[in-house]
Structure 1
Amino acid sequence: METCDQNNLKNLIKEFLTDQNCLRTYEHCISVGDYAYELGKEFLDEPYKARVAGYLHDISAIYPDDQRIDVAKKMGIELYQEELELPMIIHQKISKEIALNEFNVTDPAILSAIECHTTLKEEYSDLDLVVFIADKIKWDRKGEPPYLNQLMVALDISLEEAAYCYIDYLLNHDIQVIHPWLREAYLKLKHH
C-alpha cells in the first residue's frame, strides 16, 4: 500500500469514526499506526502493514461494549466464554471484520494483527507483536502507562521480551478475565 493509499485510508477512517462520534478513537488509532510503523521499520520487512493494522485496530469502537456480543454473533464470529464475560475484548475480532468488509483489507497478516492486538495469540507473527506492543505503548488513556519504562527496557531486548513484560504485568495486576489467546501467548513467550 503506497503512502497516498495510506493517507486515503487515514481519511476514510477519520470519516468513519467521526460520523460515529469516536474522534478520540481516531486519534488513538493514528497514534498506534504511526508508532507501529516506526517500530516496524526496525523489525519488519514491510512496516507499512503495521501502520495499516494500527490505523484499523480499534475501528470497532463504534459499537459500545453492551452491543458487541450481538454484533459479533451477527458477523458470525465465534466467541469464548471469557469474551461473553468481558465483551470489551471482542472489539479486536469485530475490528478485523470491519477492516475486511468495510475497508477491503484482505492481507491475512494485517487482519491477524488487528484480530489479536489486545490479547496476542499463541501463533503470533512479528507483525502481530509490533501492533500489540504499539497499542500498549500508545494506550488510549490519559498519562503514561504504569508499565512503560519496564516495557521499553524489554523492547531493547526483543519484541517477545516486550510482549512478555506487558502480559506479565497484566497478570499480576487487576485483570478481569484471562482470554485463552492471552494465556497461550504468555506460555509461549515464557519459554521463548
Structure 2
Amino acid sequence: MDEMINIQEELEKILKKKRYQHTLGVRYTAQAMAMCFGEDIKKAGYAGLLHDCAKYMSDGEMQKECGKNRITISDAEKRQPSLLHAKLGACYARRKYGVDDRDIVEAIRWHTTGKPEMNTLEKIIFIADYIEPNRKMLPGMEQIRKAAFEDLDLAMYLILKNTIAYLKETQDEDKIDTNSMQAYEYYKAVIKAR
C-alpha cells in the first residue's frame, strides 16, 4: 500500500489539479466496482491510479515518447494523438512505476478505446474512467452509473454507444479508433443476444 501512496504523490506533482482529482475519482470508483464484482481491489486501485499517468504530456511529446519506446501508432492515433496516453500509460506503468502485473497494464492500455472481449478489470477501469464522480453529467449517465454496479456488459455498451454517437456528431468518422468500433459492435451483440 505504501507503493500506491508513493505513486499517488508522484502523480500529484506531474498532473494538472483537475486531472489528478479525476485520477483519484477513477481509483475510488474502480475499487468500489471491484468490491461489487469480486475483482482484486488492489489491482483496481493501481490501474485506476495509473490510467492517465501519461496524460500530462502534449500530443507531440506523446508521439516522441511512443517512438522512443517502440510503441506502434495507428492511423486513428496519428489523427487523434490524445489516444496515445493509454498505450504510453501502460508502458510507463511497467517501466516508470514498476507494475509487472499484466492485468493492471492491460486495463490501462484499453481504458480509452475499449476492445471486444474485455476482462472484468479492463471493463471496470474503462467504465470507472467514464462515470467517476468528478465527471460532468453526460446523456444517460444515471443509467450508466446504475449499470456499472449491476451489469458491466450493459455499461460497456451504453458508454461505447454514447461515445461513438458523440464522435460521429463532432468529428470525422475516420478519427474514431477501430478498437472502439469493434468494441461497440461486440457489446451491442452481447446485449442483443440476451
Are 1:100 and 2:98 matched, yes or no?
no
Are 1:81 and 2:79 matched, yes or no?
no
What residue in structure 1 maps to residue 11 of structure 2?
13
Equivalent residues of 2:33, 2:148 under 8 A apart: no
How far does residue 139 in structure 1 lie from its aligned partner after superposition?
7.4
How far does residue 165 in structure 1 lie from its aligned partner after superposition?
0.2
What residue in structure 1 maps to residue 184 of structure 2?
186
What residue in structure 2 maps to residue 23 of structure 1?
17
Tell me the amino acid that sits aligned with residue 142 of structure 2: N
Select between 38-47 and 90-99 the one with higher mean Cα deviation: 38-47
How far does residue 185 in structure 1 lie from its aligned partner after superposition?
1.3
Deviations 1:88-130 (A, max 9, x none): 1111001111111110001000000001111111231100000
Aligned partners of 1:77 and 1:139: how far apart in 2?
Answer: 32
Equivalent residues of 1:139, 1:145 under 8 A apart: no
Tell me the amino acid that sits aligned with residue 147 of structure 1: G
The 1:136–1:100 alpha-carbon spacing in structure 2 relative to 1, beyond 3 Å, is same
Aligned partners of 1:44 and 1:8: how far apart in 2?
Answer: 26
* Matched ranges for 1:113-132 at <5 A: 113-132=107-126
Deviations 1:154-178 (A, max 9, x none): 3354101001001111122234322
The 1:84–1:164 alpha-carbon spacing in structure 2 relative to 1, beyond 3 Å, is same
Select between 108-117 and 43-52 the one with higher mean Cα deviation: 43-52
Aligned partners of 1:156 and 1:25: how far apart in 2?
Answer: 24
How far does residue 26 in structure 1 lie from its aligned partner after superposition?
1.8
What residue in structure 1 maps to residue 151 of structure 2?
158
Aligned partners of 2:74 and 2:22: how far apart in 1?
Answer: 27
Aligned partners of 1:35 and 1:155: how far apart in 2?
Answer: 10
Give the percent of matched residue pairs that are identical in Structure 1 and Structure 2. Answer: 26
Equivalent residues of 1:44, 1:127 under 8 A apart: no
TM-score, length of structure 1 as denominator length: 0.88
Tell me the amino acid that sits aligned with residue 12 of structure 1: E
Equivalent residues of 1:57, 1:95 under 8 A apart: yes
What residue in structure 2 maps to residue 171 of structure 1?
164
Equivalent residues of 1:116, 1:132 under 8 A apart: yes
CA RMSD of aligned residues (A): 1.9
* Aligned equivalent of 2:127, options 129, 133, 147: 133
TM-score, length of structure 2 as denominator length: 0.87
Tell me the amino acid that sits aligned with residue 157 of structure 2: Y
Aligned partners of 1:70 and 1:9: how far apart in 2?
Answer: 24
For structure 2, list consecutive stretches of 5 or more residues without a partner in the other structure.
none
For structure 1, list consecutive stretches of 5 or more residues without a partner in the other structure.
none
Equivalent residues of 1:113, 1:128 under 8 A apart: yes
